[in-house]
Chains A and B, each alone.
Chain A
Amino acid sequence: MSLADLSLVDMIGALVSFGLTLMVFSYVFGDNVLFRIAIHLFIGVSAGYAAIVTVYNVIWPQLLIPLVFGSQSERLYVLIPLVLAGLLFFKVTPRFSALGNPSAAYLVGAGMAAAVGGAVIGTIFPQVAASANLFDFQAAQQAGGLGFFVKGVAILLGTLTTLIYFHYGVQPSPGGAVAKGWLGPLSWIGQMFIAITLGAVFAGVYSAALMAFIERVYFVGDILLPLLFNP
């Protein structure tokens, strides 16, 4: 890709992107105005774009069109969210913010119910069942034999020792409250599992950041190299 291959609009966009990329890279010399301009611009554009998307993709097609062009039942159906959404505007002023409480309560309640229900049904129960199934010897023989069973043991050990690591109970003793003796080594094993997990997460974060850096370097190279070596 070179600038010559782009249309005027794409060329302007490419130049703006090039400038903003250099402004972000300037952070290597410390916090500066150029970096902050780029960051604020990014946040502002993202918020503006999200608002436009919300209006054109949610409010207009799902609220206004049924309200204006829909049938009587559709109008009544959208009247409830319209009233609740209108009450949310009272949250702007502290004097009338209480009027927006029903809408906020509905949003929070529905959101929490969906989140908790999804976590129980979609994560806890399936994961508990999956961990227990690792010790199904018939399934293990079919899936991979001993390795399947070892993986199950490792998952079980990691789960238990990680939970033990977050156990802060102590038992009384003449010299004062001390942790139970057998919990110490298991807690240390759990700490190792947590360290490995956090290391993997850090590696993934670094990998993602490195990939973003590579993509930007490629973009800058696509702009600069033709200009420098093939003017």
Chain B
Amino acid sequence: MCGKPNPDDLDVCQYCEARLKPLIGPFEPADTHEPEERERSSVTDWLDSLREQEQGELFDAEAEFPEGDESAEDVSLQPEESYPGEPAEGDWLSKLLPERGSGEEAEASSASESPEWSAEEASQETSVPDWLSDLGKSIQEQEEEETFSEAEIEAFQDVDLWGMGELGEEEELGAEQDLEIGITSQEEIEPAEQLPKSGEEIPDWLQSFVESEPTTSAEPEEAAESEPGVAPDWLVELEETAGIETSSDDLEVESELEKIDWEALQTDQIDLKAGQETPTTLEDVPAVAPFALDEEEASLDIGEMPEWLAEADADDSEEQETPLEEIDASLTPGELPGWLEAMRPVEAAAPTAPFTEESDQEVESRGPLAGLRGVLPIEPEITQIKKPAAYAMKLQISDSERKHASLFEELISNEGVSAPIEKGFGISSQNVLRVVIFLLLLFAVGWPIYTGSQSVDLPLPSRETNQASRMIDNVMVSEPVLLAVDYEPGFSGEMDAASASIVDHLMIRGAYLAVVSSTPTGPAQAERLIKIVNNTAGHAYQYASQYSNFGYVPGGPAGLLSFAQAPRRVIRYGLDGEQVWEAAPLADVQTLADFAFVIVITDRPETARVWIEQVQPTLGDTNMILVVSAQAEPLVRPYYEGVPQQVNGMVIGLAGAAAYENGMPRTLLARKYWDAYSYGLTLAALFILAGSTFNSLSRVFAKRKNTFKDQK
């Protein structure tokens, strides 16, 4: 206190007998742990700065404020109100604020008036007044600026600013713990260093204050039942912001605070600054381990916990007392819906890797990884037996994808299901029109049949027909001609009529017919054709002697190619099982080029194209004639029109057959059908024309109707 130099070994000033060494043992400066503690604690920066300012206030108040200033008095007490609150450290505690607003203590608190600066601080927790921010100097600066004498320090230490003077050990530990929660810097720790140890002399006025302090947090229920005290308004407001329930002891504290000789306290604080001597360094203050619990702390009386905390603890204890088996038995196995189970992550179903203790892991002794544990596996991973990963069996697809899949599945499934037969024949315009067209066609076709009319002239032979006729005219007797009959029974009406005149012409010329087919029904159709021509034209062609049926050549294009390259190897026996190649006309035939020409009778353009592609290149100078259906003409005509020609003659449909018969000395089926065909074709053209006209007129009328509607 006197400021005179003393030897280092003295504990008490030799001049004024002021204490030179602090009672609290040295502690580690908080600056060294400041960053680490800032990370571990959840205290925000604004709270730290506020604390710094508050702590700075504690030491600068006497320097900044004149004597008797109420602000200085309030600032000196501010750490007491600020540390229990810590609203930023726990929202759970701030939730208790509304409860605190009701009750008698709230009314008592509101009854007293608080200073304006305190009210502002309560309303704005994060905002610090300018005058207070100016006080936020660092503690190092304060240490440099302020030098206290030992007497001043002792007097300052005697001031139990936190009311911890005679706290019991438990309460003291609790207070220390509360302090340590908010300590993040050396500046915050310093006020705690100033706390006197229990048992030391405390002024009476503070002694009474301290006696009431420990019960503040220990018996909140009693505080609720006690009468409202006469605590200063600023303290009430601070408590409201801090979220602490006011107890009866609080009220007692407040009443005691009323009795404090604030002027005397202010004088003591100013005396502390007046010495201008460097106080005892912080290294001499015994360190307080943050968050450290010793045996005394462990022996805290749990029964004095608040009611809400006791209930929570009781609930936890009840839950813990319930046996795990009972819980498992009482729980019914969950049945997840399909969509939820499909969403379950695979990791949830996959077995987890077994836990490996760290002690089992090997410590690397060499190399750059020396000293690290468990970096490299002891044994290769392939030796570790693992269960295969579980994959979800259901596809995780969207609703649109599921709809598309179901639609596609429905389309496929309907392929094998026959459509149901419509019940009855409803009278509709479409059905009526269908019957009318059928009757008209039947009349147009049936009338020439009934009358036997052959009034319609046959068409003149076309160029392709003439070429075919000329080639057949050049056939000598018993010269082998390959006749491919490749049409389906459904087209026999057209194809029989189209080919009858050619077969008749061949029979007239006495050609040896070698009949072959690349369709299974072809051989039967060939037999039927020869039979029809025999019956119609009066021939008596005999099997084997005048014609032979090679039968069916399987394999499609490959079979035809094989047949074209080696006909004797592919076809050995005829339709009746005879040796077809033993017939005299075929004795000299080794390849298809040895035939006089090849005639292909087919109703499909694909079949005609296969014959042209596979067989025609092997024919050499042998000509090929096509007798095709009218529907195949557009696709096979280019083979005839090309230069050089791949097809040397064609007879197309009934029209081609009629033209061919027109050049023959006698007529057969084409002439028979030609009138009916002409009438039917004309009627069909009229139908198409009428339908097109009606459709066009209906569109025109519909457009006009819409135009009139738009104009109206």
Contacts of A212 in B (CB 8 A): 490-491, 493-494
Q: Which of A29, A33, A36, A57 has the most CB of B within 10 A?
A: A57
**Contacts A36-B421, A46-B489, A214-B677 hold; do A61 and B617 have CB atoms under 8 A apart?**
no
Contacts of A218 in B (CB 8 A): 449, 672-673, 676
Min Cβ gap B569→A in Å is 10
- Counting CB contacts under 8 A, is A49 at the interface? yes
- Counting CB contacts under 8 A, is A153 at the interface? no
- Counting CB contacts under 8 A, is B634 at the interface? yes
- Counting CB contacts under 8 A, is B27 at the interface? no
Contacts of B497 in A (CB 8 A): 211, 215
Once bound together, how far apart are the Cα atoms of A122 and B419, in whole Å? 42
Once bound together, how far apart are the Cα atoms of A129 and B613, in whole Å? 15
Contacts of A136 in B (CB 8 A): 643
Residue of B nearest to A131 (CB): B642
Contacts of B655 in A (CB 8 A): 207
Min Cβ gap B47→A in Å is 60
Q: Chain B at the A interface: mostly helix, strand, loop or mixed?
A: helix
- A126, B646: Cβ atoms closer than 8 Å: yes
Residue of B nearest to A125 (CB): B617
Q: Residue A118 contacts which of B494, B610, B631 (CB distance < 8 angstroms)?
A: B610
- Counting CB contacts under 8 A, is B265 at the interface? no
Contacts of A207 in B (CB 8 A): 494, 630-631, 653-655, 681
- B493, A122: Cβ atoms closer than 8 Å: no
- A130, B573: Cβ atoms closer than 8 Å: no
- B633, A204: Cβ atoms closer than 8 Å: yes
Q: Residue B614 contacts which of A46, A61, A118, A205 (CB distance < 8 angstroms)?
A: A118
- A111, B556: Cβ atoms closer than 8 Å: yes
Min Cβ gap B600→A in Å is 13
Contacts of A110 in B (CB 8 A): 558
Identify the stretch in B64-72, B138-146, B478-486, B517-525 within 8 Å (CB) of chain A at 4 or more residues. B517-525
Once bound together, how far apart are the Cα atoms of A36 and B434, in whole Å? 19
- Counting CB contacts under 8 A, is B691 at the interface? no
Contacts of B147 in A (CB 8 A): none
- Counting CB contacts under 8 A, is B561 at the interface? yes
Indicate the size class of the contact surface on chain A.
35 or more
**Contacts A49-B521, A204-B634 hold; do A221 and B450 have CB atoms under 8 A apart?**
yes
- Counting CB contacts under 8 A, is A119 at the interface? yes
- B561, A61: Cβ atoms closer than 8 Å: no
Contacts of B446 in A (CB 8 A): 217, 221
Identify the stretch in B16-24, B308-316, B437-445, B466-474 within 8 Å (CB) of chain A at 4 or more residues. B437-445
- Counting CB contacts under 8 A, is A174 at the interface? no
- B684, A211: Cβ atoms closer than 8 Å: no
Mark out the residues of chain A between 70 and 120 whose CB falls within 8 Å of any chain B CB in the assembled complex: 110-111, 113-115, 118-119
- B631, A205: Cβ atoms closer than 8 Å: yes
**Contacts A36-B421, A212-B493, A218-B449 hold; do A54 and B630 have CB atoms under 8 A apart?**
no
Q: Residue A211 contacts which of B551, B577, B654 (CB distance < 8 angstroms)?
A: B654
- A114, B557: Cβ atoms closer than 8 Å: yes
- B609, A29: Cβ atoms closer than 8 Å: no
- B520, A208: Cβ atoms closer than 8 Å: no
Min Cβ gap A11→B in Å is 16
**Contacts A49-B520, A53-B520 hold; do A211 and B493 have CB atoms under 8 A apart?**
yes
- Counting CB contacts under 8 A, is B286 at the interface? no
- B551, A213: Cβ atoms closer than 8 Å: no
Binary flags per residue of B536-562, CB closer than 8 Å to A gives 1, else 0: 000000000000000110111110010
Mark out the residues of chain B between 266 and 298 whose CB falls within 8 Å of any chain A CB in the assembled complex: none
**Contacts A28-B438, A217-B446, A221-B449 hold; do A208 and B653 have CB atoms under 8 A apart?**
yes
Mark out the residues of chain B between 431 and 473 whose CB falls within 8 Å of any chain A CB in the assembled complex: 431, 434-435, 438, 441-442, 445-446, 449-450
Contacts of B490 in A (CB 8 A): 212
Residue of A nearest to B420 (CB): A31
Min Cβ gap B586→A in Å is 16
Contacts of B572 in A (CB 8 A): 61-62
Contacts of A204 in B (CB 8 A): 629-634, 653
- Counting CB contacts under 8 A, is B425 at the interface? yes
- A114, B558: Cβ atoms closer than 8 Å: yes
Once bound together, how far apart are the Cα atoms of A205 and B635, in whole Å? 12
Contacts of B449 in A (CB 8 A): 217-218, 221
| Chain B interface residue count, Cβ-Cβ cutoff 8 angstroms | 71
Binary flags per residue of A32-72, CB closer than 8 Å to B gives 1, else 0: 11001000001000100110011011100110010000000
Q: Which of A123, A134, A197, A225 has the most CB of B within 10 A?
A: A123
Min Cβ gap B120→A in Å is 64
Contacts of A170 in B (CB 8 A): none
- Counting CB contacts under 8 A, is A231 at the interface? no
Once bound together, how far apart are the Cα atoms of A203 and B630, in whole Å? 8
**Contacts A29-B435, A57-B523 hold; do A208 and B644 have CB atoms under 8 A apart?**
no
Binary flags per residue of B166-205, CB closer than 8 Å to A gives 1, else 0: 0000000000000000000000000000000000000000
- Counting CB contacts under 8 A, is A30 at the interface? yes
Once bound together, how far apart are the Cα atoms of A50 and B422, in whole Å? 32
Q: Chain A at the B interface: mostly helix, strand, loop or mixed?
A: helix
Contacts of A203 in B (CB 8 A): 630
Min Cβ gap B689→A in Å is 13
Binary flags per residue of A145-177, CB closer than 8 Å to B gives 1, else 0: 000000100000000000000000000000000
- B616, A122: Cβ atoms closer than 8 Å: yes
- Counting CB contacts under 8 A, is A195 at the interface? no
- Counting CB contacts under 8 A, is A143 at the interface? yes
Q: Residue B552 contacts which of A31, A57, A201, A214 (CB distance < 8 angstroms)?
A: A57
Contacts of B573 in A (CB 8 A): 61-62, 65
- B673, A114: Cβ atoms closer than 8 Å: no
Contacts of B441 in A (CB 8 A): 210, 213
Once bound together, how far apart are the Cα atoms of A210 and B673, in whole Å? 11
Min Cβ gap A225→B in Å is 7
Min Cβ gap A223→B in Å is 12
Residue of A nearest to B603 (CB): A208
Mark out the residues of chain B between 652 and 666 whose CB falls within 8 Å of any chain A CB in the assembled complex: 653-655
Min Cβ gap B673→A in Å is 5
Residue of B nearest to A113 (CB): B558
- B643, A130: Cβ atoms closer than 8 Å: yes
**Contacts A115-B557, A118-B610 hold; do A197 and B634 have CB atoms under 8 A apart?**
yes
- A213, B638: Cβ atoms closer than 8 Å: no
Residue of B nearest to A212 (CB): B493
Once bound together, how far apart are the Cα atoms of A61 and B632, in whole Å? 33
Contacts of A53 in B (CB 8 A): 520-521, 523-524, 551-552
- Counting CB contacts under 8 A, is A121 at the interface? yes
Contacts of A137 in B (CB 8 A): none
- A119, B489: Cβ atoms closer than 8 Å: no
Once bound together, how far apart are the Cα atoms of A136 and B644, in whole Å? 12
Min Cβ gap A21→B in Å is 11
Min Cβ gap A124→B in Å is 10
**Contacts A50-B521, A54-B554 hold; do A211 and B673 have CB atoms under 8 A apart?**
yes
- Counting CB contacts under 8 A, is B3 at the interface? no
- B422, A134: Cβ atoms closer than 8 Å: no
- B654, A123: Cβ atoms closer than 8 Å: no
Mark out the residues of chain B between 83 and 120 whose CB falls within 8 Å of any chain A CB in the assembled complex: none
- A122, B442: Cβ atoms closer than 8 Å: no
Between-chain CB contacts (< 8 Å), 24 pairs: A28-B435, A53-B551, A53-B552, A57-B551, A65-B573, A111-B555, A115-B557, A118-B614, A121-B617, A123-B612, A123-B613, A136-B643, A139-B643, A200-B634, A201-B635, A204-B631, A204-B632, A207-B654, A208-B629, A213-B680, A217-B449, A218-B449, A218-B673, A221-B446
| Apart from the given pairs A29-B425, A118-B610, A134-B643, 11 other A-B contacts in the complex at a CB distance below 8 Å | A46-B489, A53-B551, A57-B575, A114-B556, A122-B609, A127-B638, A208-B603, A208-B629, A211-B654, A212-B493, A217-B446
Chain A positions near chain B (C-beta within 8 angstroms):
28-33, 36, 42, 46, 49-50, 53-54, 56-58, 61-62, 65, 110-111, 113-115, 118-119, 121-123, 126-127, 129-131, 133-134, 136, 139, 143, 151, 197, 200-201, 203-208, 210-218, 221, 225
Which 9 residue pairs spanning A and B have beta carbons closest together? A215-B493, A130-B642, A122-B613, A118-B613, A50-B520, A204-B631, A211-B494, A61-B573, A207-B630
